[in-house]
Amino acid sequence: MTHQEYRLLLKADTQKAQRAVFDEYFNYVYVIVCNRLNSCARREDIDECVSDVFIDIFSSYDPEMPIEGDIKGFVAMVAERRATDYFRKLTRSPAAVYIDDDTAEVLPAADDVQKSSEDNEMRKILLELIDSLGEPDATIIIQKFFFNRNSREISEIVPLAPVSIRLRSIRALKKLRKMLNDKNITI
């Protein structure tokens, strides 16, 4: 969604505009937040942070900003900042001790940097392919394999029966495997 499209929707119907942003960027925000908070947060904390990200997006977006193009960068910035705030809040607690994965190594070896770069590129390609599956398949795959949710839990997010979710996930995985094979990628 572009800034221009969002501005037009905001002028026409605020709730419709907010719903459109939520529907388009929910998975993206969830991945950003989960990557940051996975080491220290419970699922409830992650869900709360995602909700707060969208509140921040809706309350801080200025339709008069002279920005053009996609709003994905704005959404990512808000998600990163909110997730970092939550991380600091959760790890500041004296009752718990957490290790921040980002500071585990002071200077990574050159091999680690290359492997990390390759892993990041693979994740990017995989997420693009999952996204190309369309909805609700993309949401089902992300929730099932990235967040380890079962069919019953996913049915609370996607309005389908657990049996339908299992069938769709099997079909979506077959499509995903074929797309990966077409790109000569093995995981």
Q: Average pLDDT for residues 45-67, to the nearest whole number?
A: 84
* pLDDT in the model for residue 103: 45
3-class secondary-structure state, position 9? helix
141-165 average pLDDT score: 84
CATH number of the 107-187 domain: 1.10.10.10
CATH 1.10.1740.10 residue spans of the chain: 1-104
- State the pLDDT at residue 52: 92
In 3-state terms the chain splits into helix, strand, coil percentages (rounded to 5) of 75, 0, 25
Is 37 exposed, middle or buried (CB count within 10 Å of its CB: 0-12, 13-18, 19+)? buried
Residue ranges matching CATH 1.10.10.10 in the chain: 107-187
* pLDDT tens digits for range 88-112: 888 875 544 444 544 444 444 555 6
CA distances from residue 174 to 23, 159, 163 in whole angstroms, order as listed: 25, 22, 17
* CATH match for 1-104 among 1.10.1740.10, 3.40.50.1100, 1.20.120.420, 1.10.3720.10: 1.10.1740.10
pLDDT (tens digit, 9 = 90+) per residue, 14-43?
888 888 888 888 999 999 998 888 878 888
Six-digit token pair at 88?
Answer: 């600091």
Q: Cα–Cα distance between 112 and 51 in angstroms, integer?
A: 34
Could you give the C-alpha distances from 75 to 10, 128, 156, in angstroms and in order?
16, 17, 24
